[in-house]
Amino acid sequence: MIHVLCFMLHDIGPVAHLVERSIRIAEVRSSSLLRSTKEFMKLILFNGPAGVGKTTVANMLHKEMPLSFLLDLDRQRDFISDWQCNRLEVRSFSFDLALALAEVTLKRGHDFICSKAFLDYIDGNREMNILDSFIDLGHQYGADVYEIFLWAEKSVSMNRAQNRGYEIKPTHTPENDAEVWEQMKELKSRRDKAIVINTDDLSAEAVLNEVKAAIDLG
């Protein structure tokens, strides 16, 4: 259809050249987007307890993936007013926003990275499985999906969180992080397709290199 239109415009005059050029640019962009969506697009989910380097490694990876979108779900929550008094609604609200952002990113053919301590269900509501909803969306758009579980022994995780300082993430407390670590241990045993990377003795750079190898990023 486009080629027929270009042929018909050939003898219309000087404007025809500009129209043909615009159409061809659109064809190239469409073709490029299609190749990107099918061959190169990645959806990467970083999961794990406190102190394993999720945010740090996600930021480092983000800088090496041009036009990728990085979402920190904890920071996104801060843009919702009065969230501390409406935690249940805000969890669901934030989750829906995250899926919408992921869909827009994937629809445009770009990589999407998300960092969060995902406890797959929202307050026990099994109709709201966060991890699988992201994964299903990635597959829907033909993306390569990677669920990366960064791990550390409890003492290592707690020490790192303590050294980082709880004033950085005031909603975190030692008691809360210890409870989440136990929940994450149980979750890790159920996520059989997740890529588990033990960070106990690794620097952030070493973890990044393992992640890049796992997702086939040269």
pLDDT tens-digit map of 17-49? 444 545 443 443 454 454 444 467 999 999 999
Of residues 24 and 188, the one with the higher pLDDT is 188
Beta bridge partners of 72: 115
135-153 average pLDDT score: 96
144-155 average pLDDT score: 96
Given CATH 3.90.550.10, say whether it is the number of domain 41-214: no
71-80, 102-111, 121-130, range with greatest mean pLDDT: 102-111
Instruction: Give the pLDDT of residue 20.
Output: 53
Angle between helices 154-164 and 174-190 (to 10 degrees): 140
Lowest mean pLDDT: which of 22-36, 54-68, 159-173?
22-36
Query: Pairing relation of β-strands 112-115 and 125-129?
Result: unpaired
Cβ pair 150, 52 in contact under 8 A: yes
* Tokens 């919702």 sit on residue: 80
111-122 average pLDDT score: 80
Query: Pairing relation of β-strands 121-122 and 144-151?
Result: unpaired
Query: Rounded CA gap, 8 and 6, in Å?
Result: 5
For the cut 90, the answer to whether the pLDDT of residue 107 exceeds it is yes
